[in-house]
Amino acid sequence: MVAEQVKAGFGDPALQFRQRRVMTFIDAHMHFWDRAVLPYPWLEEVPSIAGRHTPAEMVAEAGADAPEKIVFVECGAPWREEVDWVERLAASEPRIAAIVAKCAVNEGPATVAALAELKRHPRVRGVRHLIQHEPDPDFCARPAFIAGVQAVGAAGLSFDVCCFHHQLPAVVRLVRACPETHFILDHFGKPGIRAGRLDPWRAHLRQLAALPNVDCKLSGLITEADPVVWQATDLHPYVAHALEVFGPGRLLFGGDWPVVKLAGSYVRWLDTARGLVSHLCPADRAALFHGNATRVYRLD
């Protein structure tokens, strides 16, 4: 049913999307960096976005389409220094409402100590340990990793999962082993959009959605598509399935700025995302673009 509704509402030029001028939204996945302040070695591989990207640049690019609130997600710099820097940014940019900090969760007592320190920062609501580039597809289901993620939940923090689609079976095992931890799946688990690959991603996402302690971000899709020639039609089978299994009450919008600029502008992605869910009722759209992020990252 959801897939048919997506097709029915998709692409209506009247809906794409002057709505953004009247509907405020929360961006649940945004990055900032400045290599004059902190090191980000991985940016050497993507020189087109390696320059300074702070709230000032974001507001200049987004203009009237800047979000009401922002959840900052770690970018790979040393975690103490990055959290301190983002807190300084937030002192002059009140849109920064929450931080998902970097944390190595597989380091036993060091992980527990890091979590205790992060808890002293009131904007830190969750942590992330990147999974996507690990060569072992079972990396996140290893005992040390599971123990660390259990400690994340015990500390009252959430865990953002950033993985590729082939790693989702291990993610399912991780989530099952950590029922007291709240998980947020970034970027739909990075499905193979460029290759048009839906399976077995659909089955794995359904398994993950069957677990009650998981929400999912509508984010990062255009960089998984062909970055030059992607169209919204390439994305809607993936969005339709995520809506089918998670429902609009467990999806939250993320802009993934400035990484999104590898495939398109922030505003183009925002308009595309809104178009892809234009068939939803106003209450469901408001949840996806505002209420769910407020709940998940405790922004009230």
Q: What are the chain's domains? A: 2-296 (3.20.20.140)
Distance of alpha carbon 158 from alpha carbon 126, whole angstroms: 4
Residues 172-176 have a mean pLDDT of: 98
285-298 per-position pLDDT tens digit: 999 999 999 999 99
Side-chain half-sphere of 115: how many Cα atoms within 13 Å? Answer: 26
Tell me, what's the pLDDT at 269?
A: 98
Query: Does the pLDDT value for residue 3 go beyond 50?
Result: no
Q: Would strands 251-253 and 96-102 be described as parallel, antiparallel, or unpaired?
A: unpaired
Please provide the average confidence, as pLDDT, over all residues in the chain. 94
Distance of alpha carbon 75 from alpha carbon 100, whole angstroms: 10
Query: Does the pLDDT value for residue 21 go beyond 80?
Result: no
Query: Does the pLDDT value for residue 16 go beyond 90?
Result: no
Residues 172-179 have a mean pLDDT of: 98
Q: In what order do the strands lie in the sheet with 251-253?
A: 26-30, 69-73, 96-102, 124-128, 158-161, 183-185, 214-218, 251-253
**Residue 2: pLDDT band by 50, 70, 90 thresholds?**
very low
27-50 per-position pLDDT tens digit: 999 999 999 999 999 999 999 999
Distance of alpha carbon 289 from alpha carbon 274, whole angstroms: 9
pTM: 0.93
The 8-class DSSP code of residue 225 comes to: S
What are the DSSP calls for 62-114, one per residue? HGGG--SEEEEE--SS-HHHHHHHHHHHHHH-TTEEEEEEE--TTSTHHHHHH
Residues 136-162 have a mean pLDDT of: 98
Tell me, what's the pLDDT at 13?
A: 36
Distance of alpha carbon 254 from alpha carbon 283, whole angstroms: 18
Distance of alpha carbon 181 from alpha carbon 175, whole angstroms: 8
State percent of the chain over pLDDT 70: 93
Q: Where are the alpha helices (DSSP H) in the chain?
A: 2-9, 55-62, 79-92, 109-118, 143-154, 168-177, 201-209, 232-246, 266-276, 282-286, 292-296
**Closest listed residue to residue 260, CA positions, set 118, 105, 61:** 61
191-243 per-position pLDDT tens digit: 999 999 999 999 999 999 999 999 999 999 999 999 999 999 999 999 999 99
